[in-house]
């Protein structure tokens, strides 16, 4: 019995590392965008398009890192589209996000059909379990380099928000557009840039889905990870490092079902599939309040009051 629990825990650790990586990238991208005072709900579409483009580019070029970069470019194209449309007066960023989500998913499915069958080269992993004799621990510690890139990015982003001129500009635009304008900053330009870079990161997250874990391209690849990552940013209180922690938590929740399956518990498979959504909803309920806006929320954000 205790062996089973250990197996589940090790599988969940490995699963958390694998499953959390796309969450991490989407959440970091959304964190940057929201820091500048705009919401991009369309990152679910960006994630799916990134997965498709990444897979296709890896297949054609033979190099998975070309795929990662191409996925980022596709993501930034969608981000730039969202950013420029929302720069127009009277346009609602939440609604545009919904439209971009449907558009991104549609485009990904449209062009992705020929890539469901062929096999593209995947991203390699770094073995961190060399010190252990346990085969399950070794396989759990097969970590993709993108995981570390995500953590480094989060550290860098958190540091830049506090210590650089660019960080100050983004935060000012996010907290008070009027103050930013008074400083001579172009609010729309800053938001366009943050949404574009945010789209790039979400696209890279998509490439992880198709090129590492689960590691293939099909239409059911992402079901709501992009959306959950957006919700996660609220929970992480717009702090890149807390985004990483929240992503790991979500990864562990997502890994719960497959981990239990590994020791033969298959009952309630669909319940465990729903676990990440339910966890997201519970976390949103627990961290929101009707009386005041969420803690540390950028003042210009339209999504909560």
Partner 1 sequence: MSNAPLATGAPGDLIGTGSRKAGSDLALKLRVNSEYVAIPLLALAIAAALFALFLLAIGKSPVDFVDYVWRGGFGTAFSFQNTLQRSAPLILTALAVAIPARIGLIMIGGEGALVLGGFVAAAIAIPMIGVVPPLITLPIMIVFAMVVGAFWVGLAGYLRYARGVNETISSLLLTYIGIAIMNFFVEGVLRDVSNPNKPSTKPLGDAYMVGKIPGTDVHWGFAVGILLCIALYFLLERTTFGFAARVTGGNYRAALAQGLPVGRLIVTCCAIAGACAGLAGFFEVAAIQGRANASLAAGYGFTGILVSFLARHNPLVIPPVAILFGGIVAAGGLIQRRMGLPDATVQVLEGLIFVVLLTSETLYGRFSIFKPRAGNDRT
Please give the residue ranges that form the binding site for partner 1 (CB under 8 A).
Answer: 41, 81, 85, 88-96, 98-100, 102-107, 109-110, 113, 223-224, 227-228, 230-231, 234, 268-271, 273-274, 277-278, 280-281, 284-285, 288-291, 293-294, 302-305
Least separation, in Å, of the C-beta of 96 and partner 1? 5
Number of other CB atoms surrounding residue 12 within 10 Å: 22
Q: For partner 1, which is the closer residue by CB, 165 or 291? A: 291
Least separation, in Å, of the C-beta of 31 and partner 1? 15
Q: For partner 1, which is the closer residue by CB, 14 or 30? A: 30
The rounded distance, in Å, linking the Cα atoms of 64 and 277 is 30
Number of other CB atoms surrounding residue 279 within 10 Å: 20
Q: For partner 1, which is the closer residue by CB, 143 or 243? A: 243
**DSSP letter assigned to residue 91:** -
Tokens found for residue 236: 């992480």
Tokens found for residue 218: 């099909």
Tell me the CA distances in angstroms from 254 to 79, 207, 220, 274, one per residue in order.
Answer: 27, 18, 15, 9
Q: For partner 1, which is the closer residue by CB, 113 or 181? A: 113
Q: For partner 1, which is the closer residue by CB, 99 or 168? A: 99
Least separation, in Å, of the C-beta of 61 and partner 1? 21
Tokens found for residue 301: 């954000």
Tokens found for residue 296: 């540390």
Tell me the CA distances in angstroms from 13 to 17, 24, 220, 228, 254, one per residue in order.
Answer: 6, 16, 24, 20, 11
Q: Which residues have C-beta within 8 Å of that of residue 149, sequence separation ≥ 6?
A: none
Least separation, in Å, of the C-beta of 105 and partner 1? 7
Q: For partner 1, which is the closer residue by CB, 5 or 281? A: 281
Q: Which residues have C-beta within 8 Å of that of residue 41, sequence separation ≥ 6?
A: 93, 94, 97, 98, 100, 101, 227, 230
Least separation, in Å, of the C-beta of 156 and partner 1? 27
Least separation, in Å, of the C-beta of 98 and partner 1? 6
Least separation, in Å, of the C-beta of 17 and partner 1? 23
Q: For partner 1, which is the closer residue by CB, 9 or 91? A: 91
Q: For partner 1, which is the closer residue by CB, 164 or 302? A: 302
Instruction: Identify whether the C-beta of residue 298 lies closer than 8 Å to the C-beta of residue 238.
Output: yes
The rounded distance, in Å, linking the Cα atoms of 37 and 299 is 7
Least separation, in Å, of the C-beta of 211 and partner 1? 21
Rg of the chain over all Cα atoms, to the nearest angstrom: 19
């Amino acid at each position: 019995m205790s062996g089973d629990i250990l197996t589940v825990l090790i599988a969940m650790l490995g699963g958390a590392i694998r499953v959390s990586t796309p969450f991490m990238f989407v959440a970091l991208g959304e964190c940057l965008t929201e820091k500048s005072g705009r919401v991009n709900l369309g990152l679910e579409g960006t994630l799916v398009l990134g997965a498709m483009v990444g897979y296709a580019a890896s297949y054609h070029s033979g190099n998975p890192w070309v795929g990662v970069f191409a996925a980022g470019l596709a993501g930034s194209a969608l981000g730039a589209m969202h950013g420029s449309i929302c720069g127009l007066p009277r346009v609602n960023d939440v609604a545009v996000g919904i439209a971009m989500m449907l558009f991104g998913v549609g485009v990904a499915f449209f062009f992705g059909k020929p890539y469901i069958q062929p096999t593209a080269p995947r991203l390699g992993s770094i073995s961190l379990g060399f010190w252990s004799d346990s085969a399950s621990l070794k396989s759990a510690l097969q970590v993709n380099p993108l995981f570390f890139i995500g953590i480094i990015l989060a550290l860098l982003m958190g540091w830049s928000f506090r210590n650089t001129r660019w960080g100050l500009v983004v935060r000012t635009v996010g907290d008070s557009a009027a103050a930013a304008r008074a400083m001579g900053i172009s609010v729309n330009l800053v938001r366009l840039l943050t949404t574009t870079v945010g789209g790039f990161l979400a696209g890279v997250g998509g490439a992880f889905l198709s090129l590492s874990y689960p590691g293939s391209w099909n239409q059911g690849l992402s079901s709501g990870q992009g959306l959950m990552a957006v919700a996660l940013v609220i929970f992480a209180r717009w702090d890149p490092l807390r985004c990483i922690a929240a992503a790991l938590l979500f990864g562990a929740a997502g890994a719960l079902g497959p981990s239990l399956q590994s020791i033969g518990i298959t009952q309630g498979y669909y319940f465990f599939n729903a676990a990440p959504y339910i966890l997201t909803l519970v976390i949103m309920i627990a961290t929101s309040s009707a009386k005041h806006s969420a803690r540390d929320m950028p003042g210009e954000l339209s999504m909560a009051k």
